[in-house]
Amino acid sequence: MSTLQCLNQVQAKTYFSVLQFGACADGKTDNNKAFMAAWNQACNSLGENGVLIPTGISFQYIDQLMINGGGSLDGEGASAWPLNNCSKDPNCPPLPVSMRLDFVTNSRISSITSINSKNFHFNIFACKNITISRIRISAPEDSPNTDGKHLGSSTDIRILDSVFGTGDNCISMGPGSKNININNVHCGPGHGISIGSLGGSQMDADVTGIIVRNCSLVGTSNGIRIKTWAPSYPLLVSNLTFEQIKLRNVSNPIFIDQQYCPSRTCDQKSSSSVKIKDVKFTQMWGTTKSQVAINLQCSKSTPCERIDLNDINMGYIGQGKGPKGPISITSSCANVHGVASGKQHPSSCL
């Protein structure tokens, strides 16, 4: 065998399916040994190797799960993104999530990378007491629905010291998210850090105890956003803190949208029944591409209460001039009660 042939053989990519090692996606079988066997075989074989987990297998009902080691999850999303027509078809089949955790408790995920997911990179559902740290997520800015981490019906979740660049929300927190701590996360590109959308289902649970601190967002289409459907089912969103947030070249730095409507067929006269209260935006500074830097659009029937703006300092980098000279940034409030203190640029509408 020639040297070139030998090199080509070594560099060939090989996949080791967990099914080959006895995994079964029946919702009952403990696949721990099969996963470990496939992982060990891939790590101990020459060349560029991967572990293949077919559709139907996820991490469920596990206590003290640990995932680490510095490896990568490659979703190979470019092959599937053109097939994503969910913006037009509400009945579209969902594309695979790179890593899904359901009913997982007392666990830790650290020091791994997720690349080009077909759908969400990580989906965390009905989990409790999980620490996610030193995670790097990467997907193109125009890749659809590639949320970095989506949380729902989960409690005591910590997301720390990570870098997310993706085509949708860097972190999205859905109904039932409680006691979530996000610290030292860099986001960009992406749609920012989002709570919602909320109130779309009668089964939606309250959202409370969210802390986002010491984070940066660069070039995102939103900064910090809370969004609810209208009309909606009743729901409580409370005790939220966003503190020490750096924003550079973002749109909609601070945005409460209780008329969330990604479709043009929504009834703009309808009102959200989601109650938002006790929300603090503290020490948020940077630059915005939007003329309305602080946009608090709350529900007519269920106004926002106890919204606190403290030390907000945003500079405008958008284009254009008005009849009286350069365009200056503003804030806009509707159906919201709260207070503003410290530096306020733009001037507060509270």
Three-class SS of residue 196? strand
Q: Longest C-alpha distance within the chain, in Å?
A: 78
- 186 flagged as catalytic: no
C-alpha distance across the termini of the chain, in Å = 76
For 6-36, give the DSSP string. HHHHHH--EEEEGGGGT---SSSS--HHHHH
How sure is the predictor about 3, in pLDDT bands with cuts at 50, 70 and 90? very low
Q: What is the mean pLDDT of the chain?
A: 91
How would you classify the pairing of strands 321-322 and 330-334?
A: unpaired
Residue range(s) in the chain whose domain bears CATH number 2.160.20.10: 61-345
pLDDT(264) > 70: no
pTM summary value: 0.91
Burial (CB count <10 Å: 0-12, 13-18, 19+), residue 310: middle
pLDDT digits (tens, 9 = 90+) for 38-78: 989 998 988 888 888 887 787 889 999 999 988 889 999 99
- Residue 307 pLDDT greater than 80, yes or no: yes
Q: What is the pLDDT of residues 189-201, one digit of tens each?
A: 999 999 999 999 9
pLDDT at residue number 340: 98
pLDDT at 48: 83
pLDDT digits (tens, 9 = 90+) for 155-173: 999 999 999 999 999 999 9
Bridging pattern class, strands 155-165 and 178-187: parallel
- For 322, the token pair is 């008005």
Catalytic residue, candidates 186, 191, 337, 345:
191
Cα–Cα distance between 138 and 148 in angstroms, integer? 8
pLDDT at 345 over 80: yes
CA torsion 22-25-28-30 (nearest 10°) is 40
Angle at 126 between CA 109 and CA 52, to 5 degrees: 50
For the domain covering 61-345, report its CATH number. Answer: 2.160.20.10
Between CA 37 and CA 28 the distance in angstroms is: 19
What pLDDT does 55 receive?
76
Reply yes or no on whether the pLDDT at 236 is more than 50.
yes
- Count CB neighbours of 170 within 10 A: 30
- pLDDT tens figures, 10-41: 455 788 999 999 999 887 888 989 999 998 99
State the amino acid at position 244 in one-letter form. Q
Work out the average pLDDT over 318-332. 73
